[in-house]
């Protein structure tokens, strides 16, 4: 049967090397969803409510929200007060490979340190942060030399400012983060899975590689992803299979092998479980829709 979890958003609105899109207007609501990238938002206008993993907070000018991958969230604007937000989506690898890795570790430990995923910044802080997001939008709209470097620098400035404001309100949390060991975080493991899901990964191999016990890693993955390790691997592989079914002329058998399945029977069964149709029906339906859209 199809997955009972909210839909996973996996495609950035653009396809360049530094995915970043900027203003989004919400007339009524965004239904519950999750995605495998990070999200940093700044509310510019309007008022509403956001739910993150079932916990609500108010959205109004000056609200900043930082969302981890796979956190289920939804947004509802108040009637007559449409929300206007700056939204920045970016890959987890960018944060994990930051020049100062401590920033990534602090932000990715949100759920362990119980820091709220949002903060309401002061009027002065909002003025500075809005100017920073304005500069990011302007830089993003251009195709200038060193564009990615400039965007990365400004993004890290925004993230560091966001984290600083939160930790100033919770100094004990900041100290707890600083005292953490250098062991791999669960997000580094999830990022590794994203990079290697087409390989024959096993939970035992991951546990050995990242120095976790198998039961502990299984529990952590379940808590962070909302699903089991094997179901997560299947989700990633079937997602890539859908992309290949849409965009390539590869045979379905070749696609099954390409995305990491070792038998066509397993691929077909998992595909049907997640998508509700066979791979061949999925490809045919997609092709018909594309033809209709072009006519």
- Please say if the pLDDT value at position 81 is more than 60: yes
**Least-confidence region, from 20-29, 45-54, 149-158:** 20-29
List the domain boundaries for the chain: 8-178, 186-294
| Number of other CB atoms surrounding residue 22 within 10 Å | 16
pLDDT tens per residue, range 227-284: 899 999 999 999 889 989 988 999 999 999 999 999 999 999 999 999 999 999 999 9
Distance CA 213, CA 36 (A): 25
Q: What is the pTM of this model?
A: 0.71
**pLDDT over threshold 50, residue 212:** yes
The reported pLDDT for the residue numbered 112 is 54
Q: In CATH, what number does 186-294 get?
A: 1.10.10.60
- Predicted confidence at residue 287, as pLDDT, reads 85
pLDDT, averaged across the chain: 83
C-alpha angle with apex 126: 124 to 129, nearest 5 degrees?
115
- 211 pLDDT higher than 80: yes
Write the CA distances from 269 to 8, 209, 249, 253, 286, integer angstroms: 20, 30, 21, 13, 19
CATH says 8-178 is which class?
mainly beta
The pLDDT tens digits of the residues spanning 119-155 come to 999 999 999 999 999 999 999 888 999 998 999 999 9
Residue 173 has pLDDT above 90, yes or no: no
Lowest mean pLDDT among 10-19, 164-173, 257-266: 10-19
Q: What is the 3-state secondary structure (H, E, C) of the chain?
A: CCCCCCCEECCCCCCCCCCCCCEEEECCEEEEEEECCEEEEEEEECCEEEEECCEEEEECCCEEEEECCCCCEEEEECCCCCEEEEEEEECHHHHHCCCCHHHHHHHHCHHHHCCCCEEECCHHHHHHHHHHHHHHHHHHHCCCCCHHHHHHHHHHHHHHHHHHHHHHHCHHHHHHHHCCCCCCCHHHHHHHHHHHCCCCCCHHHHHHHHCCCHHHHHHHHHHHHCCCHHHHHHHHHHHHHHHHHHHCCCCHHHHHHHCCCCCHHHHHHHHHHHHCCCHHHHHHHHHHHHHHHHC
């Amino acid at each position: 049967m199809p997955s009972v979890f909210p839909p996973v958003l996996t495609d950035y609105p653009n396809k360049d090397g530094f995915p970043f899109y900027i203003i989004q207007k919400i007339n009524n609501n965004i239904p519950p969803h999750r995605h495998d990238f990070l999200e940093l938002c700044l509310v510019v206008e309007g008022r509403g409510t956001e739910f993150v993993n079932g916990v609500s907070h108010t959205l109004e000018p000056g609200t900043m929200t930082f969302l981890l991958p796979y956190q289920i969230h939804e947004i509802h604007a108040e009637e007559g007060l449409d929300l206007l937000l700056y939204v920045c989506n970016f890959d987890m690898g960018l944060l994990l490979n930051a020049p100062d890795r401590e920033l990534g570790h602090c932000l990715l430990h949100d759920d362990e340190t119980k820091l709220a995923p949002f903060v309401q910044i002061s009027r002065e802080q909002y003025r500075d942060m809005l100017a920073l997001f304005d500069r990011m939008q302007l830089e993003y709209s251009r195709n200038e030399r060193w564009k990615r470097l400039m965007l990365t620098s400004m993004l890290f400035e925004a993230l560091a400012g966001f984290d600083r404001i939160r930790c100033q309100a919770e100094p004990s949390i900041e100290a707890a983060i600083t005292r953490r060991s250098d062991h791999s975080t669960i997000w580094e493991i999830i990022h590794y899975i994203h990079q290697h899901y087409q390989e024959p990964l096993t939970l035992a191999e991951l546990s050995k590689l990242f120095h976790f016990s198998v039961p502990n890693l299984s529990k952590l993955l379940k808590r962070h992803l909302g699903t089991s390790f094997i179901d997560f691997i299947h989700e990633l592989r079937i997602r890539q299979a859908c992309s290949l079914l849409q965009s390539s002329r590869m045979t379905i058998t070749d696609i099954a092998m390409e995305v990491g399945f070792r038998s066509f029977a397993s691929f077909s069964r998992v595909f049907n479980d997640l998508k509700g149709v066979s791979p061949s029906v999925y490809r045919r339906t997609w092709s018909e829709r594309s033809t209709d859209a072009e006519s």
